[in-house]
Amino acid sequence: FFLSLKLEKKTKGKLQKQICQVVLDHFEKQYTAELGDAWSSVRDVLTSPWCWQHALLLNRFSQCPGLESSLAEQGYHPAFPAALPYLPAAFRCYTRTAPGRFPAQKHQPGKLKEYYLLNAASLLPVLALEVKDGEDVLDLCAAPGGKSVAILQCACPGHFRCNEYDDLRSRWLEQTIESFIPNPLMNLIMVSKMDGRQIGDLQPEFYDKVLVDAPCSNDRSWLFSADPQQAVLRLLQRKELSSLQFQLLRSAVKALRPGGSLVYSTCTLSKAENSEVINLILNSCRNVMPVDISEMARGVSQEFTFLSGTQHHELLVLPEKGRAWGPMYVAKLKKMSST
């Protein structure tokens, strides 16, 4: 026990040093204004990586006898209750309140991984999307691939385009899909490297469901930017992100069939990249309506802490000790028929 305490102190010291003060000061100012009292407990979690938690999404394409009982022995429990409006039987995710991380599995060509380690809140956009078998689905900004893999745990799309513009991230996405998805299913999946802002014009009204997990200012990783100069540059560029997010969303709306739905998500707390982008789309696209996701939020309120006072079509997961998931913003929209 003393050894682990000593180790923890050592890790604390090491990680504490890496917090980027420029970013923390910036967040301090912005999020005190935007989140009020909620910010101080969120800040405590974001700046303490030793209290972060990891969830395991089991891979339905890779049988692993004994994994679930071994997880139960280690204090893990199924994260999402059966009472959710949308929870496919094959979708299994495990979490526990204790921090720490289950060992990651290495990529081995030709061998499927048994589980994917992730922040449990990042599964909420997938559950909000409610993909059904045979639907045509677009994951517009898909790397590193966790949400694409999660969608395939839920249903078998008719056609599934996983798009990633960035070259390096696109290779990462391909490797993730190879690690989790068996060959026969690969025929349904198309990995593309297009500028997401153009897909709507190139494939108008082609998809039933679109996920826009937009490039955003990633609060968790930005706090630990090792290089202060890079951090300053990121903070300057932060102002331009909402315009990119809006353009991606507009492209996604064009790519949707009338009656189709779209989920927008980010892993930032920033209002400018979250509700303000959604409001801009709702105000500028007459054929788009908000979709109520409050029932899903209520269904998972045991596992996640949400910011109060958001609209029915959106939610914001706030990290909290013992429930250190998020930040994760999720909003759902629907395209009306053109008549």
Residue 139 assigned as binding residue: no
146 labelled as ligand-binding? yes
- Ramachandran angles phi, psi of 212, nearest 5°: -115, 90
Cα separations (Å) of 9 from 51, 223, 301?
Answer: 13, 20, 32
Q: Is 154 an annotated catalytic residue?
A: no
Does 147 count as an annotated binding residue? yes
- Residue 141 annotated as lining a ligand binding site: yes
Which run of H or of E encompasses 268? none
299 carries a ligand binding annotation: no
What is the DSSP track for 93-130? Answer: EEE-SS-B-PPPPPPBTTB--SEEEE-GGGGHHHHHH-
Residue 213 annotated as binding site: yes
Q: What is the DSSP string of 209-265?
A: EEEEE-----HHHHTT-S-HHHHHHHHHHHHHHHHHHHHHHHHHHHHEEEEEEEEEE
Question: Prior bond to 290 cis, omega within 30?
Answer: no
Out of 20, 64, 267, 285, pick the active-site residue: 267
Q: How many other CB atoms are there within 10 angstroms of residue 215's CB atom? A: 18
Q: Which two tokens stand for residue 28?
A: 């301090």
On whether 195 is known to bind a ligand per the annotation, the reply is yes
CB 212 within 8 A of CB 264: yes
- Give the three-class secondary structure for 160: strand
Question: Quick check: 66 and 27 in contact, CB under 8 A?
Answer: no
* 276 token code pair: 């303000």
Q: Does the annotation list 51 as a binding residue? A: no
Under DSSP, the state recorded for 267 is: S
Q: Which residues are annotated as a binding site for S-adenosyl-L-methionine?
A: 141-147, 164, 195, 213
Annotated binding site: 141-147, 164, 195, 213
Catalytic residues, which ones?
Answer: 267
